[in-house]
């Protein structure tokens, strides 16, 4: 595997993803995608590579530069590790451009199409075929040495000079289901099968409605994404704090809930500027802060945050408060 500026990459031939497409079709048919209708709309596009493509540049960037075990998060909000730093959709794409600039002089009439969660691509199977790791029980690509805290992106290429595809055949999850047990909302139905509708990442990022109290109870302090099924993995104990393309912003690691609810919309976008968090928007972020306050079990914190959010007179927040108040005080 080659590397440049903190990015590991490999150019591989177009892999046969037939098996993974069948699994993906079954997953969608089961409704596990929830309200993510764009996955259904883009299903057929995922099935085919560009006609002109002969290979794929596959890249990864690590972001495991701190441990949640070292963080005091009482009465604080938790944001997934990948999101407390510069947005990888941008930083990883810029690094891919750098790699393409290295490749271009050696390739005649290079044609390419970049993907970083921006195109309908099955990134995890592609990462598997690039030799980045095996697909683990938590449904993520897991490197047996460095774990699963990395983002995958790449580019379809017109060139035919590539490295042999070298998937990892050893699977370290065989006798381990710690991630399945660790999921508080039971989103991992069984090893390797995720019901996104129950997943904290889905609920805090993708879901646009009122979160019912039963699901809310399982969300704990998480206000954007979730790392529980990764943090519990023994293969993620080794921090990768060298050669990262973006480092965690210390002030975004477990910010206090009372501080977060004090933000107006302009302050929210300023605080999270350049991070993935800004993508969820102010209103849904405050809904997530409300759920985290509910889960503290502290009546002072919960009532204070309810009072402040009621002042905004936003229907989603008003309805979320009604959903939680009855259970909290009942």
For residue 62, how many other CB atoms are within 10 A of its CB?
22
> Is residue 227 annotated as a catalytic residue, yes or no?
no
HSE, side-chain direction, 13 A CA sphere, residue 322:
8
Please choose, from the candidates 212, 232, 292, the residue with its C-alpha nearest in 3D space to the C-alpha of residue 260: 292
* Active-site option among 16, 35, 72, 117: 117
The Cα angle at residue 219 between residues 221 and 77, in degrees rounded to 5:
20
Looking at the annotation, which residues are catalytic?
117
């Amino acid at each position: 595997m080659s590397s440049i500026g903190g990015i590991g990459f490999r150019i591989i031939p177009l892999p046969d993803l037939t098996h993974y497409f069948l699994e993906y079709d079954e997953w969608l048919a089961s409704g596990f995608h929830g309200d993510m209708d764009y996955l259904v709309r883009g299903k057929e596009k995922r099935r085919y590579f560009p006609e002109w493509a002969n290979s794929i540049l596959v890249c990864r960037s690590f972001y495991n530069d701190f441990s949640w075990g070292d963080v005091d998060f009482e009465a604080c909000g938790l944001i997934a590790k990948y999101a407390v730093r510069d947005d990888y959709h941008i930083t990883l794409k810029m690094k891919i451009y750098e790699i393409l600039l290295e490749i271009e002089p050696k390739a005649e009439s290079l044609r390419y199409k970049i993907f970083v969660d921006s195109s309908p691509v099955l990134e995890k199977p592609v990462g598997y075929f690039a030799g980045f790791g095996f697909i683990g029980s938590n449904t993520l690509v897991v490197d047996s040495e460095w774990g699963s805290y990395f983002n995958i992106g790449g580019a379809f290429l017109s060139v035919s000079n590539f490295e042999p595809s070298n998937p990892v055949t050893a699977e370290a999850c065989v006798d381990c289901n710690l991630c399945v047990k660790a999921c508080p909302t039971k989103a991992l139905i069984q090893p390797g099968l995720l019901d996104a509708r129950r997943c904290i990442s889905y609920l805090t990022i993708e879901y646009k409605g009122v979160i019912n109290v039963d699901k809310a109870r399982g969300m704990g302090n998480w206000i954007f994404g979730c790392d529980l099924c990764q943090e519990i993995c023994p293969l993620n104990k080794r921090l990768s704090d060298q050669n990262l393309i973006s480092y965690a912003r210390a002030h975004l690691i477990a910010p206090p809930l009372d501080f977060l609810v004090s933000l107006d919309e302009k302050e929210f976008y300023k605080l999270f500027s350049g991070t993935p968090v800004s993508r969820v928007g102010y209103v849904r972020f405050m809904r997530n802060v409300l759920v985290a306050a509910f889960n503290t079990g502290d009546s002072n914190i919960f009532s204070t945050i309810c009072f402040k959010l009621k002042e905004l007179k936003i229907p989603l927040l008003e309805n979320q408060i009604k959903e939680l108040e009855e259970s909290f005080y009942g």
